[in-house]
Chain A
Amino acid sequence: DIQMTQSPSSVSASVGDRVTITCRASQDIAGWLAWYQQKPGKAPKLLIYSASSLQSGVPSRFSGSGSGTDFTLTISSLQPEDFATYFCQQANSFPYTFGQGTKLEIK
């Protein structure tokens, strides 16, 4: 199985800050990487697919990059509604696997 390792596991930031979350795959997954945002008690929401494609309706302050084994999610200017938990996920092969999550908290 492909292991997905996210870092950091938690981060504190302020409104307006730029935040970057990284995800590393245990083997080459090309661009088959997605990012999700999850708020308490809610289902995950797809933000980015194919490593860098913005899902319809997602604000442009979210961006993704990377290929192969190393990927990043960047939020260019944090808004109050962005404080949540973020997960990466590989869609290269079954079993699909997720990172352990990064909790983004208000500083």
Chain B
Amino acid sequence: EVQLVESGGTLIQPGGSLRLSCAASGFAFATFGMNWVRQGPGKGLEWISYISAGGSAIYYADSVKGRFTISRDNAKNSLYLQMNSLRDEDTAVYYCVRKTLDYWGQGTLVTVSS
């Protein structure tokens, strides 16, 4: 069974940094690209980043480019999102999602507030 489990979400002040993690199991993680998608409170879905299976191809949404960094450790079956210079508008549930958006984690809540 495919499982994606996010962690690391918390309440953090504007300007702060946070690292989200996603533990993958039940599939050959090293052969799949991975995404992060977020959803603000009462809002729609926003794709924010993609990393290819080997990590050589990376894409970001303009809203996070230069502030967020996606990475992965295939030996640990793990995906990461380093979030810097956090803003109020980054408040959202962050989902770890497999390449073709077929499997989603349960999400982890990041709240940016003073």
A residues whose Cβ falls under 8 Å from a Cβ of B? 1, 34, 36, 43-46, 49, 55, 87, 89, 91, 94-101
Contact = CB atoms under 8 A, between A and B. Distances in A.
Interface in B7-61: 35, 44-47, 50, 59-61
Q: How many of chain B's residues touch chain A, expressed as a range?
A: 10 to 19
A44 B47 CA distance: 13
Nearest to A6: B44
Contacts of B105: 43
A91 B100 contact: yes
Nearest to B45: A98
B59 A55 contact: no
B45 A43 contact: no
B47 A95 contact: yes
B62 interface: yes
B100 A94 contact: no
A86 B75 CA distance: 36
11 contacts: A43-B105, A43-B107, A46-B101, A87-B44, A89-B47, A94-B59, A95-B60, A95-B61, A97-B47, A98-B47, A101-B45
A43 B106 contact: yes
B21 to A, nearest CB: 17
B80 interface: no
B101 A34 contact: yes
